[in-house]
C-alpha cells in the first residue's frame, strides 16, 4: 500500500484553518465545528483505534450534536454524540456508550468487533459490539447539526491488544479478573506472547495498565529479576521495557545491558504506561498521561514480530509477580 496514503489516514482533525464546512479555530489547540462536516477520502483498511477529545457546545432541536464515521471499506464505525452521551451504531442498531465522558477511544479489531474505553484509560475496554457492514470507500468524517469543539480526532492502526484473545500463555500465566497475572518463582521467564502480523516496519505505540505485585531484583547483565516486562518487536526494531518497584529500565541501541531511564519510588503501583516509538527508533515514556521526560533509541532487531509481557524471578527464591489489566499496540504502517 502506498506509504504516504497510509500515513495520511492517521492525521488528526485539529488546528485546521476555517473552511466552507463552517469550521474555525476555537483556540490554539482546538477546532470549532458549527453545523458542518470535515472528511478525508482515506482511512484504515482493517482494525483501527479512533480517539476523541472534545465536547458538543450546542445541541440541535433534532439530529445529532456530532457524528463521527470511520469506514474501512467493509465495516463502518459511526458514533453520535447526543445530550445523554455517545451512541454507537451496531449491526443490530444504535446503543448507548456509557461511562466515557468527553475523552474516549473506540478500539476496532480486524474482525469488526468494537469496544469503548475512557481516556485516560484506567480500566479495560467495556462492552463489545459488531460493526455494521458497508460497501462504501474507506474514509473518515466528522460533522453534525450542532456546534462542537474538537481537541483531537485521531485514527491509528490497531495492531494488537484490546482483549487477550490469541495470546499464548506460559505455565504461571493466567487470566483473572479480566486481566493477565504473571508469576515466576524461579529465575525462569513466565510470559504471555501474541504474534504480530506486521509485514513492514512501522512507528508504533504500546500502552498498558499494570502493577507490580512482587518485586524482584533486576540483574542488568542477565535480565533476571524482571518484575513487569513489556516487549514489542516489529521485525526491524525491538522495544524492551521493565517496570520495577523503584523505576523503569530498558535496553537501548548499542548496549547489551539493561539501563535505568526513570527513577520513581513506588513505580510498581497501578499505572497506565505508554511508549511511543517513531520512525527513527526514538522512544518516549509516558505515565498516567504525563510525559516522564525519558527518551532513548530502541535497538534494531529482526526478531519475529510479537508483543509480550513477562516476569522473571531471581536466584534464591526471589519471585516476580505482576498483573496487567489491559494492553494495546497501535501503529502507523509504512516502509522502514
Question: What integer pLDDT is reported at residue 35 of this predicted model?
Answer: 78
pLDDT digits (tens, 9 = 90+) for 149-165: 999 999 999 999 888 99
What was the pLDDT predicted at 1? 31
The CATH number of whichever domain residue 272 belongs to comes to 2.60.120.200
- The arithmetic mean of pLDDT across residues 132-137, rounded, is 93
Task: State yes or no: pLDDT of 16 exceeds 50.
Answer: no
Tell me, yes or no, whether 283 and 235 share the same domain.
Answer: yes
Looking at the 3D structure of the chain, how many domains does it have? 2
Give pLDDT, residue 17. 34
User: Of residues 205 and 24, which shows the higher confidence score?
Assistant: 205
pLDDT of residue 201: 54
Residues 26 and 89 in one domain: yes
Of 141, 158, 175, the domain-final residue: 158
CB neighbour list of residue 176: distance below 8 Å, 6 or more residues apart: none
pLDDT confidence of residue 23: 46
pLDDT in tens, 44-89: 888 999 999 999 999 998 888 999 999 999 999 999 999 988 999 9
Per-residue pLDDT for 99 more than 50?
A: yes
Specify whether the CB–CB gap between 284 and 295 falls below 8 A.
yes
Same-domain pairing of 40 and 140: yes
Q: Which of 153-157, 277-281, 283-287 has the highest mean pLDDT?
A: 283-287
Predicted confidence at residue 177, as pLDDT, reads: 85
132 shares its domain with 194:
no
Residue 28 has pLDDT above 70, yes or no: no
Q: 246 and 175 in one domain?
A: yes
| pLDDT computed for residue 203 by the predictor | 87
Picking from 158, 180, 202, the residue at the C-terminal end of a domain is 158
User: Where does a domain end: 125, 143, 158?
Assistant: 158
The pTM of this model reads: 0.84
Q: What is the SS3 assignment for 21?
A: coil
Q: Which residues span the domain enclosing 9?
A: 3-158
pLDDT tier at 24, thresholds 50, 70, 90: very low
DSSP state at residue 314: B
My answer on whether 204 and 239 are in the same domain is: yes
Q: State residue 29's pLDDT score.
A: 63
The answer to whether residues 7 and 132 belong to one domain is: yes
Range 159-174 average pLDDT:
93
- Same domain, residue pair 126 and 267: no
Burial class of 133 by CB neighbour count within 10 A (0 to 12, 13 to 18, 19+): exposed
**pLDDT > 90? residue 202:** no
Q: What is the mean pLDDT of the chain?
A: 87
- Judged by average pLDDT, the poorest of 33-37, 164-168, 261-265, 270-274 is 33-37
Which grid cell sits at 249? 529500565
Cα distances from 328 to residues 48, 159, 230, 324, in angstroms, run: 11, 8, 11, 11
Q: Are residues 107 and 225 in the same domain?
A: no
Closest listed residue to residue 11, CA positions, set 28, 26, 31: 31
Three-state secondary structure call for residue 83 = coil
Q: Do 243 and 268 lie in a common domain?
A: yes
Question: For residue 55, what is the domain's CATH number?
Answer: 2.60.120.560
151 and 16 in a common domain: yes
What pLDDT is stored for residue 12 in this prediction? 52
Query: pLDDT band at 199, cuts 50/70/90?
Result: low
Determine the Cα–Cα distance for residues 276 and 206; give it in Å rounded to an integer: 7
Residue 162 has what pLDDT? 86
As a 3-state breakdown, the chain gives helix, strand, coil percent values, each rounded to 5, of: 0, 55, 45
Q: Binning pLDDT at 50, 70 and 90, where does residue 200 land?
A: low
Tell me, yes or no, whether 53 and 108 share the same domain: yes
User: Is a pLDDT exceeding 90 seen at residue 112?
Assistant: yes
* pLDDT over 70, % of the chain: 89
Q: What is the pLDDT of residue 14?
A: 43
Amino acid at each position: 500500500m502506498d506509504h504516504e496514503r497510509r500515513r495520511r489516514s492517521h492525521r488528526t482533525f485539529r488546528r485546521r484553518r476555517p473552511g466552507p464546512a463552517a469550521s474555525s479555530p476555537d483556540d490554539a489547540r482546538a477546532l470549532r465545528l458549527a453545523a458542518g462536516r470535515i472528511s478525508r477520502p482515506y482511512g484504515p483498511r482493517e482494525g483501527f483505534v479512533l480517539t476523541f477529545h472534545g465536547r458538543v457546545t450546542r445541541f440541535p432541536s433534532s439530529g445529532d450534536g456530532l457524528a463521527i464515521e470511520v469506514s474501512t471499506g467493509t465495516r463502518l464505525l459511526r458514533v453520535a454524540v447526543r445530550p445523554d452521551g455517545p451512541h454507537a451504531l451496531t449491526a443490530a442498531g444504535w446503543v448507548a456508550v456509557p461511562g466515557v465522558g468527553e475523552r474516549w477511544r473506540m478500539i476496532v479489531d480486524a474482525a469488526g468487533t468494537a469496544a469503548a474505553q475512557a481516556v485516560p484509560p484506567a480500566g479495560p475496554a467495556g462492552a463489545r459490539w459488531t460493526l455494521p457492514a458497508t460497501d462504501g470507500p474507506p474514509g473518515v468524517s466528522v460533522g453534525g447539526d450542532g456546534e462542537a469543539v474538537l481537541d483531537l480526532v485521531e485514527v491509528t492502526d490497531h495492531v494488537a491488544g484490546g482483549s487477550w484473545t490469541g495470546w499464548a500463555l506460559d505455565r504461571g500465566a493466567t487470566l483473572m479478573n479480566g486481566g493477565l497475572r504473571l508469576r515466576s518463582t524461579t529465575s525462569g521467564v513466565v510470559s504471555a506472547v501474541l504474534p504480530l502480523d506486521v509485514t513492514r516496519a512501522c512507528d508504533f505505540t504500546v500502552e498498558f495498565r499494570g502493577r507490580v505485585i512482587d518485586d524482584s531484583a533486576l540483574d542488568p547483565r542477565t535480565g533476571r529479576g524482571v518484575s513487569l516486562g513489556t516487549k514489542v518487536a516489529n521485525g526491524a526494531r525491538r522495544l524492551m521495557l521493565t517496570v520495577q518497584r523503584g523505576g523503569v529500565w530498558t535496553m537501548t541501541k548499542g548496549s547489551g545491558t539493561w539501563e535505568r531511564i526513570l527513577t520513581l519510588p513506588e513505580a510498581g503501583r497501578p499505572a497506565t504506561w505508554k511508549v511511543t516509538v517513531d520512525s527513527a527508533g526514538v522512544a518516549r515514556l509516558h505515565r498516567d498521561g504525563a510525559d516522564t521526560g525519558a527518551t532513548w533509541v530502541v535497538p534494531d532487531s529482526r526478531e519475529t514480530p510479537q508483543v509480550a509481557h513477562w516476569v522473571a524471578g531471581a536466584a534464591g527464591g526471589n519471585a516476580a509477580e505482576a498483573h496487567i489489566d489491559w494492553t494495546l499496540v497501535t501503529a502507523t504502517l509504512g516502509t522502514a
